[in-house]
Structure 1
Amino acid sequence: MSHYNTTNKANNEVMAMSFNGHTLQSIIKDGQIWMTASDLAKALSYKNSKSVTNLFNANSSEFTSGMTMVTESVTNGINGSKRKMAIRIFSLRGCHLIAMFARTKVAKDFRKWVLDILDREVSTPAIEQPPAITDADWVRYSRSMTIPEMAQLTGHTEQQVINALHKVLGSKVPTTSPAPVMTPEMQYALDQFWGFIATQDIKALNHSHKPHELAISIPEVYELAEPWQLPDTSLLYKALRLSTTPRFYRANAVIASERTNRSRRVWIFIKSFGQTAIAKV
């Protein structure tokens, strides 16, 4: 797996990434990661890029200019000459949307992988609010994603997602549901996660400048651990929302890191007053 911090990387620089045994050559443009249709097809287990192109053509109205573009690529021609050709590339959000339309067996795993990379991105300027999402974006997301998935992709809270959908769709979005239940599997995942955190230097993991908060980058934690030390993220994300010590506050918030002074997408928890950060682990 590659390092995903693209800060200070030059435009059009190629960066190798690994997914499901495939090496993907991503392109850096304006500090963001983009993938070619060819590499996207490889990741999704299609025979060639035509399948990705067909998915895009069939759903082109769903994509914004921030999700896909046509750019020039220089390849080796006859006798060492250079030949320019136009290729379509997709941003991480564009890759995620293509994977939503894909029906291959690895599409679900690829979507999770892309979201994990989005969590790791720290190249954007420090901001207090998540980036603006257009009305068309919300309509598109509502057709194929759950509210938690939309929250994770956009960096909004689930309540912000609900409010936005209500405003755009013009119909009431249910805000109440049966209270989530902490299953034994979720409790084990929670204990496993906080147990690992307790073995680490908490100050080195905490990105918050507020003394009562823990602001933790989940992908950063997983980079420190062996695979057997932490639970599957799909289960952990559900369990962390039920964490009480420290108490869950917000998921996928973008803050200016106290440690690096750069923006970082984090999960925020509230420490128990008068107790250490991980008092009950």
Structure 2
Amino acid sequence: MNNLTFNDVNFNPVEQNGQIWLTSKEIAKALGYKNSTSINKLYNANADEFSDNLSQVIETTVSVVSSKTKGLRAKIRIFSLRGCHLLAMFARTDIAKQFRKWVLDILDKEVGAPAQAPNQLSTTVDRKPLVDAVNMHCKKSGAIYSDIWKMVHQRFNVDDVECLTVEQVPQAVEYIHSYSLKATMPATPISSFTHNQYIMNVKGEIMDYVDMLRKIVVAGGNTLPKYPEFDTEEICQAFIVSMIRHNRMMLNFDHNGKPVVGFIPDEHAVVSSESIASVVQFADKKQLPSIINEAVKRLGQ
């Protein structure tokens, strides 16, 4: 295997499962550390981020320093190229950024295609769509800015938004959009709408939401994607069905014989005219006056 050189550091790669691995001692030099102790500290502080295909401990023969050490075996930590890139993400030396680019260049040559960095932390530019989504939600709903960011932190188990990876950013944007859509749904009880009124209301909410997303895309300097070919009416109906699936409904007929579907609130019961008397005996005493009033009104009709 050919040696690799970064600046004035000459690497002696270790071949592991047909891949290039580098030792912590040589990585330390490349990143500007005095010795491998700093690398070990970085690894230990973020050990949960490294799988076995990123870092391993192997045994190797100690270089001949004296007759006493000749032939001795020692354990050393090694990192795959992807592991090196991840390690350099945690490094705070001036040369770390340049080292990460060098590692990716080596990966490109190894696999013959552009390499994707594992768990690459997002930048301010990467997070702009997320910031726009949060700002839009707070402006529309009146939510407290810091509270929404706390929700994002909890959802992705991070202490700060800067800890989000590039892969997590679009997931976070989708999370905020979904939350925003739920938060803007009508707060009034479903029972206050007839079926047709409710359908029109929800369809309006959906189209407003789509329009908001399009404005965010344009504001970010991006090109609007082409609308997919689908039946808009069918999509809206499917969305409505999923929302009302677990709600009870009653079919009535108005004075003109026109059918009207209404929603039954969860706290309401439906009884037949024959069973009303038996149901009243179990009613709360506080409710009896209102029941009597309604009964008197009905008798007067």
TM-score normalised according to structure 2 size = 0.40
Higher helix share: 2
Give the structure with the larger strand fraction.
1
Larger radius of gyration: 2
TM-score, normalization by structure 1? 0.43
